[in-house]
Amino acid sequence: MNHPNNQTSTFELIYIIVNFGLGSKVLKLAKKNGIKGGTVVIGKGTVKHDLLNFFSLYDKRKEIVMIGSDSVTANIVIDKVYKHFKMNKPNHGIIFTIKMNQVVGSSQYQKPVKPIKRSEKNMEYQVIVTIVNRGSAQDVIEVANEAGSRGGTIIKARGSGTHETSKIFNMEIEPEKEMVMILSRKDITDKIVENIRVKLELDKPGKGILFIQDVHQAYGIYEEKTKEA
């Protein structure tokens, strides 16, 4: 039997962000190409002043498809999805992957495999994930924009921390949370993170949590500026 650490070195989590209504189609195509399942969540996209299509998202609902896969299958699925949904064009979606350090309970991944190279150049990106109380997500986007971010995705969530519940008629009510995902170039990540940390007062208890993940591969990102109307 192979050691778990060896197995997970080539396991990836694929994020595919598309317009609302396309998530199930993406998942169907992925299943035809070796994926056994995935998760689709709803998000809201934002882009700073609509000048840059950095995250290929606008102020409308989006679907985020999350798929765990070995690297070889991931390569195949990404290529099929990228071409089928024409992600070489602006505003048609975005794909990025994150290497997984440990996978438990997956029957899909049986043994380590050697990843194959993708044709598109890997760019140096990180994902900044900030979880804040309901109503603060837009503030996260705004202060991130001040530091050079060009957009992100807001996802509704729910907290269950021991100090985050209130009681009504003896019933514990878990407050809603908002999760903000920002795809950032590594050279400006620190600036964005510091701006969010200071202006959202994340050092204070109950204000929020922020963490960063390295992106393995990124596709469908456009940073070309468009002329102002």
In the three-class reduction of DSSP (H, G, I as helix; E, B as strand; rest coil), residue 205 is classed as coil
End-to-end CA distance of the chain: 61
The confidence score (pLDDT) of residue 118 equals 45
pLDDT for res 54? 46
According to CATH, the topology of domain 125-214 is Alpha-Beta Plaits (3.30.70)
Backbone angles phi and psi of 136, in degrees to 5? -100, -10
Local mean pLDDT, 10-residue blocks, the chain (229 residues) = 42 90 94 90 67 47 88 93 92 88 53 45 79 91 93 76 57 71 92 95 89 88 45
Q: Token pair for residue 13?
A: 């989590």
Which among 190, 143, 155, 193 has a CA at the least distance from the CA of 61?
155
Comparing C-alpha atoms, which of 142, 181, 143, 149 is closest to residue 62?
181
Specify the pLDDT at position 174.
54
- Could you confirm whether domain 4-122 is CATH 3.40.47.10? no
Q: Which amino acid is at 44?
A: K
DSSP state of 59: S
Q: Do domains 4-122 and 125-214 have the same CATH topology?
A: yes
Domain range list for the chain: 4-122, 125-214
Rounded alpha-carbon distances, angstroms, from residue 191 to 143, 145, 216: 10, 10, 21
